[in-house]
Amino acid sequence: MMQVLDITPKRWQDSLKQAITDPQELLDRLSLPNELLDQAKAASQLFPLRVPNEFLNRMEAGNPNDPLLKQILPIGDEFIQTPGFTEDPLNESEARPTPGVVHKYQDRALLILSGACAINCRYCFRRHFPYSENQLSGEHWQTALAYLKGHKELREVIFSGGDPLVTPDGRFSNMVADLEEIPHLERLRIHTRLPVVIPSRVTEQFIDTLQHSRFDSVVVLHINHANEIDDSLRHAVTNLKKSGATILNQAVLLKGVNDCADEQIKLSRALFSAGILPYYLFLFDPVAGASHFDIPIEQGKKIFAQMQKSLPGYLVPRLAKEISGKTSKTLLISS
């Protein structure tokens, strides 16, 4: 009898290592035309290609317009220089009091836990972020803790990145324990795409860390299209809920990916069936190299108005835009 080899990675770290980084392999795996290769190779020099197999398996083979593929395929449009699109669209460099800490809003500070991601999203507003200067290891971690201790107005710490869940479980739980020593902190928020693209990242140890933490925890996932939600993600979210964390989603309106009301309505419904509440729908941040994803604000408002008509209030995310220098996100209303 022929033996069938099980090539499914057993650990999330294996999935990370096995992520596809070679444009030729991506095209071959999805039976895509080779004319895409030169552009993909060139644009991956600007920002590397990276996509885990678990995410790739949700794409439709042979479809160059697949909404998941469009989020990760390097293309020639990334070389277009558009006025107003910059390397640091949210001016985060001006809100970094110490390496790895971004403090823009009064009662919460963001920690850049990792410079790595499991997936490289072409539209990422941090695609040019100087991660090498902002590693929170050793000395920088102690400086960050001192900063948080000294700012008694802070109530919440947000783990961000890169993807903060690239951090191994042991180190992650030590970091949470260090933060728990700071009495004025009450909440821990984790912004991550890793459980979406590699659902096995939701390990027992990670759940245990959140479950036994004194913090109220919030996990904000990043899902842009209903096709990103499959059984493995639903299963991971069911497990994650055992930790007691509130699970939310933030999405970005992206041209050619999810820029119509039907897709957004489908996304909200699929999120809710998976146990995730829609939280924010962001208008695109003007990052250099990704202007081809941008849509006009008025179009975003029209999509939102249709969502409001079709969905109950609890399934309508907040339509928002981050404007650099503002003390909170700017909420937009439909016209």
Q: Which residues contribute to the site for ligand SF4 (CB under 6 A)?
A: 117, 119-121, 124, 126, 161-163, 193, 222
Number of helices (H), then strands (E), in the chain: 12, 9
User: 58 or 222: whose CB is closer to ligand SF4?
Assistant: 222
Q: How far is the CB of 29 from ligand SF4 (least distance, A)?
A: 20
Q: How far is the CB of 54 from ligand SF4 (least distance, A)?
A: 14
User: 15 or 213: whose CB is closer to ligand SF4?
Assistant: 15
Q: How far is the CB of 160 from ligand SF4 (least distance, A)?
A: 8
User: 196 or 307: whose CB is closer to ligand SF4?
Assistant: 196
Q: How far is the CB of 178 from ligand SF4 (least distance, A)?
A: 23
Q: Point out which residues pair with 222 in neighbouring strands.
A: 250
Residue with tokens 């600007």: 46
User: 115 or 278: whose CB is closer to ligand SF4?
Assistant: 115
Alpha helices in 133-230 (DSSP H): 138-150, 169-180, 194-197, 204-211
DSSP type of residue 278: E
Instruction: Say if strands 108-114 and 101-105 run parallel, antiparallel, or are unpaired.
Output: antiparallel
Q: How far is the CB of 106 from ligand SF4 (least distance, A)?
A: 24
User: 120 or 227: whose CB is closer to ligand SF4?
Assistant: 120
CA distances 250 to 191, 193, 290, Å, are 9, 10, 19
CA distance 305 to 190: 29
- Provide the 3-class DSSP secondary structure of residue 159: strand
Residue with tokens 């949470």: 176
